[in-house]
Amino acid sequence: MILVAFVCALTGLCYAELASMIPIAGSAYTYTYATLGELIAWIIGWDLILEYAGSNMSVSVGFAAHVVDLLDWFGLHPSARWISPAYLPDGLQDLAGNNLYNPGWHFGFNIPAFLIVLIITVILVRGIRESASTNNMMVGFKLIAILIFVFAAIGFIHPSIWHPFMPNGWSGVLTGGSIIFFTYIGFDSVSTAAEECRNPQRDLPIGIIATLVVCTVLYVAVAVCLTGLVPWQSMVGDAAPVVNALKKLSVLPGGHSLYWIRLVVLLGALMGMISSILVFQIGQSRVWFSMSRDGLLPKVFSNVHPVFRTPAFSTWVAGILVAIPSGLFDIGTLADLSNIGTLFAFVLVSIGVIVLRYRDPHRRRGFVVPFGPVIPALSVIFCFLLMTGLPIITWYRFLIWLVIGLFIYFLYSRHRSEFAKPR
């Protein structure tokens, strides 16, 4: 987690500088468009679609797992067929280790994951103000739940579980950092809504850096507590590790107080994941909107709803394309796709800072990355390093996604962009 926080701190500084210079919706896509040209911008925009979609699919599957835990807390046990993905690469087991489904495909659909995305989509179509108010309340409740968990868990930590501290060595640290990297794309989503800020050149750098600091402290605190409660092996493939760890401990002698802590954490986790889905869906729809406005996608994606003044078509398309896979695939497959997309986007953003320093050194910057090109260069190196920790199958899927995007660009987008030569 500390390695991931370090890499994100480097990249976050790069984002803050570009956001203060180019306060326009679209995040890394917009920054790349202004620094590296249309083709690279298309690649990063296409990549961002994968990044945000994969992240939201992963969070939606995690949300569904927490809904199942909440129903279990009330003594309700719906059929696993309708609360688990149709594709389970490792199969499905209950907390006692009993096998429910063998690895592979089975007849079923993750209904809670599907429904939450559609509900959030409706909220976003109705408008950013309503979305922001709802999100602020959920984030507040989430922070309270995290703090309650941390303080409650301290008394149940067993330091012996931390030995060995790095059971899989540095390669395990690298792979672990790569696997959970998508949890840090929140500061990227902050910059996608630049045009809805009152003073983006000031507010965006503050929001990005503050997000990094707060998230790092909370993530490290939760990771330290969780890995001290239960062995790390018990959390492999678990979409709700915190609440399941509390459930296991609550039935042990002296653990009765965790029964109610589990409920608070469950509700906080649900609120937190809803807010994450909301923010990431905003980011994804704004990328579609920005690419359409530049002519790289059909103009219908940049149409604004006449009543709600939101990019309704982009929001609905993003919602449907996230909701359906969320019901079909497991959290690990989806998270890996998001991770490689996120890291690739961070690489291009960091390169963009270096390029703009060379091409336009006198442009007004509301925030400047310290130490010249050193930090952006380190960001590029460490992002590539984390990318090497991802499974080879993820690289194949990512390359296929990029090839599809290049076909669309050369057959459609480059002939209709705002820089296309008139015939």
A 10 A CB-CB count for 67 gives: 22
Question: According to the model, what pLDDT value does residue 200 have?
Answer: 63
Query: Residue 104: helix, strand or coil by DSSP?
Result: strand
User: Is beta strand 87-88 parallel, antiparallel or unpaired with respect to 104-105?
Assistant: antiparallel
Burial of 79 (0-12, 13-18, 19+ CB in 10 A): exposed
Ranges of residues in the chain with a pLDDT under 50 are 423
Question: According to the model, what pLDDT value does residue 112 have?
Answer: 92
In contact, 35 and 361? CB cutoff 8 Å: no
Question: According to the model, what pLDDT value does residue 423 have?
Answer: 44
How far is the C-alpha of 205 from the C-alpha of 213, rounded, in Å?
12
Q: Which fold has domain 2-416?
A: Amino acid/polyamine transporter I (1.20.1740)
Helix residue ranges, H only, 199-257:
200-229, 241-250
Burial of 132 (0-12, 13-18, 19+ CB in 10 A): middle
Beta-carbon contacts of 343 under 8 Å, excluding residues fewer than 6 positions away, are 178, 181, 383, 384, 386, 387
- Of 236, 261, 301, 199, the residue nearest 91 (C-alpha): 236
In contact, 410 and 355? CB cutoff 8 Å: no
